[in-house]
Amino acid sequence: MPKTMLHRYTSSPRAFPLLASLYPPLLGSGIRIRHIAPDWSRGELSMHVAPWTANTNGTAFGGALFAATDVLYGALLSGQLGGGYQVWTKRATIDFRAPGRGRLRCVVEVPAPEADAIREQLGQQPSTSVVHTAVIADSRGTTVVEAQHTMFIRRRS
């Protein structure tokens, strides 16, 4: 059960995109959550590289690119697993492949069988880790960033 009204709204796939997009680190980086599927199986975000979100080369700031790869998978998995579980990033590596310019996009999918398998694992052990890859592409489909996130998941006590 969500603790506060804010927690309740962030656990709604309809309200999450707006509230997450207003979160200062995402807002300041030009990251906007565009869509979350009603069953938490798919999410999409965009990132606009503007003069105030760019590095000295005029391309996307690396920290903002990392933030964009970090937000969706954990949110989608948390949404599917429900309030009885905690999900957070344990480890991550990021590979910057091309300069990020203009509007960038990241789509993440968490199929229901993946969430079910994690739930089943956590029925037998107190915690688990899963690896997820997030890709950010530019408007031409060129991969700008590929990040590997190891997510730590446990049942709440």
The edge-to-edge listing of strands for the beta sheet with 143-155 is: 31-36, 42-48, 103-109, 127-137, 143-155, 85-96
Instruction: Compute the distance between CA of residue 104 and CA of residue 45 in angstroms, rounded to an integer.
Output: 8
Q: Are 47 and 102 in contact (CB under 8 A)?
A: no
What tens digit of pLDDT does each residue of 12-49 get?
899 999 999 998 989 999 999 999 999 999 999 999 99
Q: What is the pLDDT of residue 96?
A: 97
pTM equals 0.90
Q: What is the pLDDT of residues 108-148, one digit of tens each?
A: 999 999 999 999 999 999 999 999 999 999 999 999 999 99
Question: Could you tell me the pLDDT band of residue 83, with boundaries at 50, 70 and 90?
Answer: confident
CA distances from 11 to 20, 41, 126 (A): 11, 14, 23
pLDDT given at position 11 = 78
Enclosing domain of residue 15: 5-155
Contact 9, 15 (CB under 8 A): yes
Q: What is the CATH number of the domain that holds 47?
A: 3.10.129.10
Is 1 a residue whose pLDDT tops 50? no
Residue in the block written with tokens 């960038």: 104
The count of structural domains within the chain is: 1
pLDDT digits (tens, 9 = 90+) for 43-71: 999 999 999 889 999 999 999 999 999 99
Cα→Cα distances 123→4, 48, 117, Å? 27, 41, 10
DSSP for 93-130 reads: EEEE-S---SEEEEEEE--HHHHHHHHHHHHHSSEEEE
pLDDT tens for residues 84-100? Answer: 999 999 999 999 999 99
- Report how far residue 156's alpha carbon sits from residue 2's, in angstroms, rounded to the nearest whole number: 13
CA gap 51, 15 in Å, rounded: 29
pLDDT at 104 over 70: yes
